[in-house]
Amino acid sequence: MKSAKEVAEIQQKLQDLGVKYCIGAYVDIHGIPKAKVVPIDHLPQMAAGSERYTGYALDGLGQAPSDDELNSVPDLDHIIQLPWEPKVAWMPADNHFQGKPYPLNTRVALKNVLAQAAEMGFGMNLGIECEIYLLKQNADGSLSIPNPDDKLDKACYDVRGFMDNFAWLDKMASAINSLGWDLYSFDHEDANSQFEFDFNYSDALTTCDRLTFFRYMAKHYAKEDGLVATMMPKPFSDKTGTGAHFNMSLYDLKTGANLFACDPKDDPRGLGLTTLGYQFIAGILKHGPALCAAFAPTVNSYKRLVRRGAMSYFSWAPVFNSYGSNNRTNSVRVPMGGGRCESRNADGAVNPYLAATLALAAGLEG
């Protein structure tokens, strides 16, 4: 935790930026942010865990009605000033219980497994591909494609479909870059009114924080335009589902070197992966069916994990607990050039902290 002096310095800096309120957002088992809003004058108390919560009111935190309250402790190293409302600062938070980090909080769980990896000399790199639909909600509650011109059977990379939604896309891209996430590509994805944002990978905890905020931000900017942004795994039976592919590698904590990377010529399998990388994949595959419950956590998720279904052509969904290179039906793919493995089971409903926790634990076992 920060010292009182450090907290006071952060408080003053935020006040100078015009911040009036702070949100310390932890997540429930579904990855949904939960928080109280605290005036900036009370940031020191908030940083010390002043905000308390009845855990039984939250999904998946393992408390009974008679249990003592949880509290939340914000991570003051990962503050985001809301791009659309600079009076508010967002901070990811951990739950604590009776003065200690609460292990059933999934962000705390990820920190605990990252600490186990650190004892082995490893850190975890994680990049998540953010696929998302931009839709219209009709009077009866159903969802539909808002742009009638976005109707190609194979809409992937469609320039017109992209530019017709430029206002929302520009808001998103500008905000991502203003936050320092380093957006390097975004495009019209495979389905009508589906898009993908790719920003640079980071350490696992930071990337999970970013995905959580990304979903919140995307929904806000869509609402400004009278639309709905959703990462629902399969909103339409006849269109491509929404993935949130996890691109993973381990790095050396001392040097920062990627420990999965090697020249494909030095890899007997030719994929550009070290022995450690294959061992990590072995752990993922060993626990593949169980991991799928975290990577694909809803009933709707399994409407995505089909070979074809109602689509006019084959889906890109991973339907085999296997690994390989460019065969997208593998649950684990080693992209061209190697150096990382991609779990393709992860979808837009994922709680990234929970999935990263379990994937790292399985990989370390391998």
pLDDT at 332: 96
- 181-190 pLDDT, tens digit each: 999 999 999 9
Q: Can you name the CATH fold of 122-365?
A: Creatine Kinase; Chain A, domain 2 (3.30.590)
Closest CA to 200 of 219, 179, 221: 179
Instruction: Please check whether residue 78 is in contact with residue 104, taking contact to mean a CB–CB distance below 8 angstroms.
Output: no
Give the CA-trace dihedral at 358, 267, 342, 254, to 10 degrees: 60
Place of tokens 């809803």: 298
Distance CA 231, CA 189 (A): 13
Q: What integer pLDDT is reported at residue 37 of this predicted model?
A: 97
Domain ranges of the chain: 4-101, 122-365
Identity of the residue numbered 157: Y
pLDDT, position 313 = 61
The predicted pLDDT at position 309 comes to 63
The dihedrals phi and psi of 102, each to the nearest 5 degrees, come to: -90, 115
Q: What is the pLDDT of residue 315?
A: 62
Phi, psi of 220 (to 5 degrees): -65, -50
The contacts found for 147-151 with CB under 8 angstroms, 24 or more apart, are: 147/192, 147/193, 150/192, 150/193, 151/192
As a whole number of angstroms, the distance between CA 227 and CA 335 comes to 34
Q: Residue 136: is it exposed, middle or buried by C-beta count within 10 angstroms (0-12/13-18/19+)?
A: middle
Q: Are 34 and 26 in contact (CB under 8 A)?
A: yes
Strand locations in the chain, DSSP E?
A: 21-27, 33-34, 37-39, 52-53, 70-74, 80-81, 88-97, 100-101, 122-128, 130-137, 143-144, 183-188, 194-199, 202-203, 228-230, 246-252, 320-324, 330-333, 341-343
Q: Which of 119-123, 140-144, 160-164, 312-316 has the lowest mean pLDDT?
A: 312-316
What pLDDT is recorded for position 326? 82
Q: How many residues comprise the chain?
A: 366
More reliable by pLDDT, 308 or 147: 147
pLDDT tens-digit map of 50-101: 999 999 999 999 999 999 999 999 999 999 999 999 999 999 999 999 999 9
Q: Where are the alpha helices (DSSP H) in the chain?
A: 4-16, 43-47, 106-119, 159-163, 166-178, 204-224, 275-286, 288-295, 301-304, 352-365
Residue 138 has pLDDT above 70, yes or no: yes
Name the token pair of 95: 């739950």
**How confident is residue 310, by pLDDT bands cut at 50, 70 and 90?**
low
Quickly name the fold that domain 4-101 has: Ubiquitin-like (UB roll) (3.10.20)
pTM for the complete prediction? 0.95
- The dihedral over CA atoms of 230, 234, 239, 243, expressed in degrees to the nearest 10, equals 70
Percentage with pLDDT > 70 across the chain: 98
